[in-house]
A and B are shown apart, each in its own frame.
Chain A
Amino acid sequence: MKTVFVTVGTTSFDELILTIKTPEAVKVGRGSVLPDPESGLDLTLEAFRFKDSISEDIACADLVISHAGAGSCLEALGARKPLLVVVNNKLMDNHQLELARQLHKESHLLYCTCSSLTDTLRTMDLSVLVPFPPAQTTHFANFLDIALGVQ
Chain B
Amino acid sequence: MSLMLGLLLGLFCTVCIFLLRLLLVVNSGPNCKPGGKGSVCVLVVAGSGGHTTEILRLMESLSPSYKPRHYVIADTDRMSEEKIRAFESAKENAASGSKYTVHRIPRSREVLQSWSSSLKSTLNALLYSVPLVFRLQPDVVLCNGPGTCVPLCVSALLLGVLGLKRVLIVYVESLCRVETMSLSGKILYPVADYFFVQWSTLRDKYPRSIFLGRLV
Contacts and interface: CB of A to CB of B under 8 A. Distances in A.
Interface of A: 9-12, 50, 52, 68-72, 74-75, 90-93, 95-96, 98-99, 101-102, 135-141, 143-145, 147-151
A135 B216 contact: yes
Of B38, B48, B168, B215, the most chain A CB neighbours within 10 A belong to B215
B111 A137 contact: no
Contacts of B86: 52
Contact of B49 (A11, A93, A136, A145): A11
A71 B49 contact: yes
22 contacts: A9-B49, A50-B78, A71-B49, A71-B52, A74-B53, A74-B54, A74-B175, A98-B179, A136-B213, A137-B57, A137-B58, A137-B216, A139-B212, A139-B213, A140-B61, A140-B196, A143-B194, A145-B63, A145-B65, A148-B34, A149-B36, A150-B35
A137 B178 CA distance: 18
B40 interface: yes
Interface in B118-137: none
Of A11, A74, A138, A148, the most chain B CB neighbours within 10 A belong to A148
B215 A148 contact: no
Assign chain B's interface to a size class: 35 or more
Nearest to B201: A102
B59 to A, nearest CB: 10
B19 to A, nearest CB: 26
Interface string B27-49: 00000011110101000000011
Given A102-B199, A150-B40, A136 B53 contact: no
